[in-house]
Amino acid sequence: MTRPDILLIGSPMAYVIERLEAAFTVHRMPAEAAGFNAFADMRGIAMAGGPLRIDGDFMERLPKLEIVSNFGVGYDAIDAHAAAERGIVVTNTPDVLTEEVADIAVGLLLCVVRQLPQAERHLRAGKWLAGAYPLTATLRGRRIGILGLGRIGKAVALRLEAFGVTIAYHGRNRQPDVPYRYYPSLMAMAEDVDTLVSVAPGGASTRHLIGAEVLKALGPEGIVVNVGRGSVVDERALIEALGSGTILSAGLDVFEDEPRVPAELIAMDHIVLLPHVGSASHHTREAMGQLQVDNLVSWFAGKGPVTPVAETPWPRG
């Protein structure tokens, strides 16, 4: 029996490649579009990052394409609406990374509020011998607003409950059976909280949602933590707000143009920056890779996708 031809885009870990090769005939996308026509028979795509965008034009050049299996929850590099119009299934890897990313979000917040990385650098530089590290801000009494109360947002909120802080959220819709205050307007929430945790997905609808006015509304004790997508935060506005004291600090795991981080952010010692490591544990990345492969295997076995994205109508009527 002929194995389905799969196009591999990006740089997946070795175990993902091994599992794909065990079930499919795997072809690698060249660095440039040269030779693109050689992939006209591809029936599936395994997407694992990189700068390439899978848009309608791309899909038109792969007329036999049936499914795009994405490594990660966010899939803004794939035009899922264009895929749906063409009957192409798009899948992602939700749930398996929820707890890991939520841990990083809360860890980032603690690091920002208590300046833990800076305090460690103080000790390592021998400065403790000359005096104690300065007093810091506190998590006590903070009012935290979560932008995007999906799976990860809820996991973040659950962890924060243990700290006794006030929790609110903003999203497209009020969610039933959620004990936190809902704000239909991000600006209204920003005016009532001093800490904003973004777990929002990327895309045109969320681009620069956190801009100059939202940052100003957080106030001088304001903190922004972003573990969603870098495009949600207007980085130029954030740099200005941090430099002028409009807000207190920020903790960022994601950036607008990764892996290129603005020099102005790198130069700031009062913020905490991570290189997009929210789900970067062996345990979680292996689970993500397995789910990516499972979606492809299930599809070509005639069982349908395991975790189709919202734009993919499934089951089909």
**DSSP annotation string for 273-315:** E--S-TT-SHHHHHHHHHHHHHHHHHHHTTS--SSB-TTS--S
Cα–Cα distance measured from residue 312 to residue 317, given in angstroms and rounded to the nearest whole number? 12
Start-end of CATH 3.40.50.720 domains in the chain: 5-96+282-300, 98-273
CATH superfamily of 98-273: NAD(P)-binding Rossmann-like Domain (3.40.50.720)
Sequence-separated contacts (24+) of 182-188 with Cβ below 8 Å: 183/145, 186/147, 186/210, 186/214, 187/213, 187/214, 187/217
Residue 96 phi/psi, 5° resolution?
-65, -20
Q: Which of 6, 15, 10, 5 is nearest to 283 (CA)?
A: 15
Burial grade of 54 (CB within 10 A; 0-12, 13-18, 19 or more): buried
What is the identity of the amino acid at 159? R
CATH fold of 5-96+282-300, please?
Rossmann fold (3.40.50)
Claim: this prediction has a pTM higher than 0.75: yes
- One digit per residue, the tens of pLDDT, for the chain of length 317 reads 689 999 999 888 899 999 999 999 999 876 444 455 668 899 999 999 888 899 999 999 999 999 999 999 999 899 999 999 999 999 999 999 999 999 999 999 999 999 999 999 999 999 999 999 999 999 999 999 999 999 999 999 999 999 999 999 999 999 999 999 999 999 999 999 999 999 999 989 999 999 999 999 999 999 999 999 999 999 999 999 999 999 999 999 999 999 999 999 999 999 999 999 999 999 999 999 999 999 999 999 999 999 999 999 888 76
Residue 229 CA to residue 223 CA, distance in Å, equals 17
Tokens of 19: 């599992």
User: Which residue, 257, 267, 229, is CA-closest to 75?
Assistant: 229
- Phi, psi dihedral angles at 263 (to 5 degrees): -60, -30
Closest CA to 70 of 229, 231, 258, 296: 296
The radius of gyration computed from the CA coordinates of the chain, to the nearest angstrom, equals 21
**Catalytic residue IDs:** 229, 258, 276
